[in-house]
Amino acid sequence: MKYWVFVLTIILLGLSACTTFHGLTLVSPKAGHPNAPTKVDTLQPTLKWKPSSQTDVAYDVIIYEGIEMATGNRLAGLVGKEAYYRQGIKETEHKVEDVLKPKTEYYWSVRVRQGEQVSDWSRYDYFLFGGVGWVSGKNLLIRFKTPKKVR
């Protein structure tokens, strides 16, 4: 018993995580572990992000479907076809106007638009250190999964 308490203490002391955004910080659905999509409770989620430090800007939003293999599993980090796109959004949140597919993984991002100039799409890096091992991902889009049933 003392051994497991010691091991757990060491692991907890050595556990650390870091998420770094490139571009705008995407707030909701939030960035999570690259292999575990954030679950949303609707087929028309509201996407939220932190505002740009620039003035007089608009935002573009894009959503891609995840790639599904013949086995029914999805490949983390690989995006498929574009499922949704809107540009010129003035607010820092946007409710998806189209109904997304149920029980499907999607990836989303946002960029800044100032006239005809646009920034790169927002992405993030993830690093988790757990005592003796780590998991990381670079240049990722935020991943979320829609519910099984329509509410």
Measure the N-to-C terminal CA separation of the chain; round to a whole number of Å.
46
**pLDDT tens for each residue of 56-66:** 999 999 999 98
Residue 12 lies in a domain: yes
Looking up residue 99, the CATH number of its domain turns out to be: 2.60.40.10
Residue 151 lies in a domain: no
Computed over every residue of the chain, the mean pLDDT equals 82
pTM: 0.78
Supply the range of the domain harboring residue 37: 2-145
Residue 14 lies in a domain: yes
Phi, psi of 16, rounded to the nearest 5 degrees: -150, 155
Is it the case that residue 4 has pLDDT exceeding 70? no
Residue 79 lies in a domain: yes
Residue 135 lies in a domain: yes
Residue 42 lies in a domain: yes
Q: What is the mean pLDDT of residues 17-24?
A: 75
Cα–Cα dist 43/100, whole Å: 5
Residue 119 lies in a domain: yes
**pLDDT tens for each residue of 92-126:** 999 999 999 999 999 999 999 998 899 999 988 76
Structural domain count of the chain = 1
Residue 81 lies in a domain: yes
Q: Angle at Cα 28 formed by Cα 59 and Cα 145, nearest 5°?
A: 110
